[in-house]
Structure 1
């Protein structure tokens, strides 16, 4: 069980490189996502790095879109799954959004829908495929 989970917003290149390495491991290597899809919208996103006992363990981001505020690219390395890191990342991202963020959404992989539902998100619309993986759009209640 980890002693200390920290989720922080990152802007320095060295930390962004770690964020990208985590996402590459989870999405490109593990889930076979096309690399070109994985790195869209990097320059307009707010990035976060999660550490467990000072070790890089997870990454995520948010960005403003024409629809609202989109949470995306939640990735936790295999060795750190099951310790509550994903929930801490979602809470940190939500806390970072502007106070006037009225429409908050994400595209959840189908198997992660119950996880996001526990954090106050509700499935909206039909299941769809993105990067060869089934997803549901989920909106913050």
Structure 2
């Protein structure tokens, strides 16, 4: 299985990113669409492909609190194949070398994935878009 992750700028390719997020977050997890589509222009987007087929998406953006990794989504048929790990690696590698305070809001089931990359849970569990999360911070 060949997993490839690339940064996406082209509007046509970006449609693949949005289609994956729509399927995973809006359709599968029932997130309100208006919460899913925000901060698109200020974000750096990534598309993962498995054997050339769109399989996952993610993004990062600079916020007032630091660098936030967001919108990690892997299509159901590709889960468990390493796509999530490939996305986390690619996103972390793309951050500016000066990036400090790197954080994310992890869905409960994804905490273990981020812990593999040295993210640590901060604070109590909270709900975002009707889904249980933890804030996680990268320990460097």
Aligning the two structures, in what range does the TM-score lie when normalised by the shorter sequence?
A: over 0.9
Is 1:39 aligned to 2:19, yes or no? Answer: no
- Aligned pair count reads 139
Q: Deviations over 1:53-90 (max 9, x none)?
A: 00000000000000000000000001111111100100
What does residue 95 of structure 2 align with? Answer: 97
What does residue 68 of structure 1 align with? Answer: 66
Is 1:121 aligned to 2:119, yes or no? Answer: yes
Instruction: Tell me the distance in 1 between the aligned counterparts of 2:112 and 2:48.
Output: 21
What does residue 80 of structure 2 align with? Answer: 82
Is 1:54 aligned to 2:18, yes or no? Answer: no
Q: Deviations over 1:104-140 (max 9, x none)?
A: 0000001211111111100001110000001000000
Instruction: Tell me the distance in 2 between the aligned counterparts of 1:86 and 1:111.
Output: 12
Q: Report the Cα offset of residue 102 of structure 1.
A: 1.1
What does residue 131 of structure 2 align with? Answer: 133
TM-score (ref. length: structure 1): 0.97
Greater mean alpha carbon deviation, residues 112-121 or residues 42-51: 112-121
What does residue 13 of structure 1 align with? Answer: 11
- Tell me which stretches of 4 or more aligned residues in structure 1 moved more than 2 Å: none
What's the Cα RMSD here? 0.5
Q: Deviations over 1:21-73 (max 9, x none)?
A: 00000000000000010011001000000000000000000000000000000
Instruction: Tell me the distance in 2 between the aligned counterparts of 1:12 and 1:87.
Output: 24
Where does structure 2 lack aligned partners over 5 or more consecutive residues?
A: none
Residue of 3, 20, 41 corresponding to 1:22: 20
Where does structure 1 lack aligned partners over 5 or more consecutive residues?
A: none
Residue of 109, 128, 141 corresponding to 2:107: 109
